[in-house]
Amino acid sequence: MKKKPLLIIGLFSFIVLLQAQNDTIYFMKNGLIVNKQSIKTTDIDSAVFYTPPIISPTGSFTDSRDSQVYQHLTIGNQVWIAENLKYLPSVVDSLTGSEIAGFETEAYYYVYGYNGTDVTEAKATANYNTYGVLYNWNAAMAGADSSSTNPSGVQGVCPTGWHLPSKAEWTQLADFLGGFDEAGGKLKEAGLTHWEAPNAGATNETGFRALPGGYRNSLGEYKYMARLGICWTTSMSSANGSHTGRMQSQNQRLEQTGYNIAGGISVRCVRD
């Protein structure tokens, strides 16, 4: 039977000292040895050293269109906005928009639970300030064509210097976090302040703070706030749908399900 590789996890540096004892791992902190462990090289095939991606926001920027300030954070080789986009040039009630994907030609902006047309009123709501804006796909893409490349090359509704991610960019994020089966937990805000129980596996160890902003479906209904967080990609999944990045309360997965492009969901942007 092939022996499993040794996995060592921690936020420390590993240094092989020139005068150190053979077959001994030394663990260092502030230049001092804090622990050591002898190993038999015949008992292992390899050693893997891994720093968990526990990353707090690395800075902020201001969207020149509306002076909204966003935190951003680095996860692997990507820089993500650490909250849902809030750009709201106009707003409509939930019943405005096509019920049939593919017949939607307008860009529509929604705020969960708000059914007026006054931008100032919509921005004053708790849902806008917590969860941001729900965009139909036309609004999210800002008229651009579908893209499956990494990076997508589609600015869409994102601020200058940022872009709407493709399915491949969400896949890159999931891969860095250990795969789709556990990435959602590392991205979701922990606890039950915004997510309903059980909010399975949520640690927010990346600082991404994914929130369950729900969606506006193609029938004009606001659904599943507190249960589901779902964001657009630039990549079509069918003639009437786009791939999404989706997380839910019931598990810790990051899912890439298709969604009707006539609906309204959230947007996360990636830096160019």
Q: Which residues contact 41 (CB under 8 A, 6 or more apart)?
A: 23
Cα–Cα distance between 4 and 148 in angstroms, integer?
36
Query: Do 235 and 243 contact (CB within 8 A), yes or no?
Result: yes
Residue type, 44: I
Query: Do 204 and 82 contact (CB within 8 A), yes or no?
Result: no
Helix (H, G, I), strand (E, B) or coil at 70: strand
Q: Which of 267, 158, 161, 141 is nearest to 210 (CA)?
A: 267
132-151: average pLDDT:
96
What's the per-residue H, E or C state across 7-36?
A: EEECCCEECCCCCCCCCEEEEEECCEEEEE
Q: Rounded to two decimals, what is the model's pTM?
A: 0.80
Helices (H), the chain: 119-123, 126-131, 137-141, 167-176, 180-187
Q: Which two tokens stand for residue 56?
A: 């707090």
Query: Do 85 and 158 contact (CB within 8 A), yes or no?
Result: yes
Q: Which two tokens stand for residue 174?
A: 């999931």
pLDDT recorded at residue 29? 55
Helix (H, G, I), strand (E, B) or coil at 148: coil
177-191: average pLDDT:
97
| 76-104 confidence digits (pLDDT tens) | 999 999 999 999 999 999 999 876 666 66
Cα–Cα distance between 111 and 100 in angstroms, integer?
20
| 16-67 confidence digits (pLDDT tens) | 333 444 567 766 654 556 677 777 766 667 665 544 444 545 799 999 999 9
